Amino acid sequence: MQDENADQDRLIVALQQELASLEERISTIEHELHDGPLQRVIAARMQMQALLSKPDLTPDLSDQFEELDQSLALAVSQVRSILQSNQQPAVQDTLGLDTLCQEFTEPAFRVWLYGPSKITGVSIELWDAVVRVVRELIWNARKHSQADGVTVTSQENERTWVIEVRDLGKGFDPEQVPDDSYGLCTAVERARMMGFELVIDSVRGEGTRVTLRGTIA
């Protein structure tokens, strides 16, 4: 019996050492990912934004650069989300609205957040879809609204949550969404698939307000 207990103790010690070794390797990978590829992608995005600010850019080239900029922004958020997922549990694994707003904020276009960065009481899958929709809405506003910024307002209570994305740009007719507004169309479709409400309120010359609304399980 004594020998059996000793063997169990040695096994526990060996497992603890293996776990510590794995955690150290994970930590090393995280630091290398943050200090290497992530920083290079951020630098590439800064260069892309500098190119976008050039006044002699043709419309076609500007659209291509904007698409590349969006892809780089998505890559940054995905890497950060992966890094965060190894540090915190549950819904904290997912991207917060504060991080999203910071990524889109630049000197010529500001994004302000009012309210909580995350909605509690919803599944990770649903929150991920909500963040993706908000991303599309911010991107769409930056590309089409001619506004100098966007406000993102979030609220929640025991039963419902609401997120509003608003700009004071040129606005449009919600019944006639522009053909090149892929971001808005994607947001509408994603909201429909995930089962939360998306309402567009826009008037030409007065800006656009898009409201997301859902229930808390």
Contacts of 195-200 with C-beta under 8 Å, sequence gap 24+, read: 196/126, 196/129, 196/130, 198/133, 200/174
pTM of the model: 0.59
Residue-wise pLDDT tens digits, 184-196: 777 888 888 889 9
Q: For domain 97-217, is the CATH number 3.40.1350.10?
A: no
CA nearest 73: which of 110, 35, 101, 33? 101
pLDDT in tens, 25-40: 555 565 555 556 666 6
Cβ atoms < 10 Å from Cβ of 209: 18
Percent of the chain with pLDDT over 70: 67
Would you state the pLDDT for residue 211? 96
Our measurement of the distance from residue 35's CA atom to the centroid of its chain's CA atoms, rounded to an integer in Å, reads 20
Q: Please state the domain extents for the chain.
A: 1-87, 97-217
Query: What average pLDDT does range 157-174 have in this prediction?
Result: 91
Q: Pairing relation of β-strands 197-203 and 110-114?
A: unpaired
Listed residue (104, 131, 111) closest to 119, CA to CA:
131
